Amino acid sequence: MGRIGQGTTGYTTAKLTVGQSLVYARLRAAHGAEAARLFADSNREAIVRMGELVAELGIECDWEETSNYVYTESSGRLGELEDELEAMREAGIAAELTRRTELPFPVAGAIRVDHQAQLHPLKYLAGLAVRLPGEGSHVFEGTCATAVRTGERCVVETNRARVRAGHVVLATQLAFLDRALFFALAHPRKSYAVAAVVDEALAPKSMYINIDAPTRSIRSTPGEGQTRCLIVGGESGHPGEGLQRKRYDALAEFMPDQFGAEAGLSWSAHDYMPADGLPYIGRLRHHDGRIHVATGFAKWGLTKATIAAGVIGDAILDRPNPWARLYDAGRPAHPARVCASRGDRERPGRVAFLR
């Protein structure tokens, strides 16, 4: 209904990484090692594709190649990192365990993955959007879709006009058509972020996310002169819980305590968490090949959206896609297997740190 970038995508912290917290140990336990490998491959390919688009289209979006760290400050949780490292390596990810980071506080351990990326999401979106119109493509802002009818062609009903198309993609967070009952397969979570301008020498150049509670997601982006914009996110909660001020305050206190900076900006966004740990991407219903859906990105929307574009684009063009089966939007739900974590216990044994 609004303008491009005014929703969750514009408010993302824009970290492009295969290192998405403790995802691989959980996926391996819930779906098997092959599913974890395909998940890693698809996210890696999404980062590569985004880098290609930035280069091919000349998009100025503060693209930076950097490393990603998944860390803990608790020695009691090193076993979880060790399990995750094993699952990541089994999935084909070159990852190492280390205690060395750029953070101004000590960590008990961190999984490092190199050759990841970060960017400015609004600049990236603007660079893509300006190239869309033409050759039968259009961008309609300020237009609310209210229904979709299917027949020989699809008809999208809006508050302004009808739009006819061969295929329709519902990329509206949760699909606004209830035909596949996605409201029962994904639940919303809201995350918060604050930002401050800091001296370039004080800002971490890599990306960080902890496995502890509360969550802390940390990165920086280029600023003016010898400065960078430090972004700290986390404090996830349920939308509408009434704790917004408390969560902003917690992040605002973390910023000067750890980085000596006062937060000057704050924002929030919400995303949908899939029941079994994997996004839902593909046909809205198996017997209807004209309506497609992409939802359940679990707060890692830029890479998942890029994956979705490939999967759905190939489906429309009747081409095979290596990730389609993994993310199949019509797959059976197994709530009892939801993200079964092997990380609730510390596994005995030595923890090898990369120095």
CATH number for the domain that contains residue 69 = 3.30.9.10
Q: Which two tokens stand for residue 284?
A: 């809205």
Do the beta carbons of residue 31 and residue 83 sit within 8 Å?
Answer: no
Q: What angle do CA 127, 129, 131 make, to 5 degrees?
A: 80
- CA distance linking residue 328 with residue 324, whole number of Å: 6
| Alpha helices per DSSP H over the chain | 23-31, 33-57, 78-90, 121-129, 244-259, 301-316, 324-327
Asked whether residue 125 is assigned to any structural domain, the reply reads yes
pLDDT of residue 322: 96
* Global confidence as pTM: 0.90
| Number of compact structural domains in the chain | 1
Q: Which domain holds residue 306?
A: 1-133+167-342
Cα dihedral: 138, 315, 14, 60 (round 10)? -50
Asked whether residue 142 is assigned to any structural domain, the reply reads no
Residue 225: count other Cβ atoms within 10 Å of its Cβ: 8
Judging by beta carbons within 10 Å of its beta carbon (0-12, 13-18, 19+), is residue 199 exposed, middle or buried? middle
Nearest to 273 by CA among 67, 13, 20: 20
pLDDT of residue 334: 57
Asked whether residue 32 is assigned to any structural domain, the reply reads yes
Residue 233: count other Cβ atoms within 10 Å of its Cβ: 25
Q: What are phi and psi of 34, to 5 degrees?
A: -65, -40
Amino acid at 200: E
Asked whether residue 101 is assigned to any structural domain, the reply reads yes
Asked whether residue 140 is assigned to any structural domain, the reply reads no
Per-residue pLDDT of the chain (355 residues; tens, 9 = 90+): 578 888 888 889 999 999 999 999 999 999 999 999 999 999 999 999 999 999 999 999 999 999 999 999 999 999 999 999 999 999 999 999 999 999 999 999 999 999 999 999 999 999 999 998 888 888 988 899 999 998 889 999 999 999 999 999 999 888 888 777 888 899 999 999 999 999 998 899 999 999 999 999 999 999 998 999 999 999 888 888 878 889 999 999 999 999 999 998 999 988 999 999 999 999 988 878 899 999 999 999 999 999 999 999 999 999 999 999 999 998 886 544 444 333 333 333 334 434 3
Asked whether residue 35 is assigned to any structural domain, the reply reads yes
Asked whether residue 335 is assigned to any structural domain, the reply reads yes
Amino acid at 242: G
Asked whether residue 91 is assigned to any structural domain, the reply reads yes
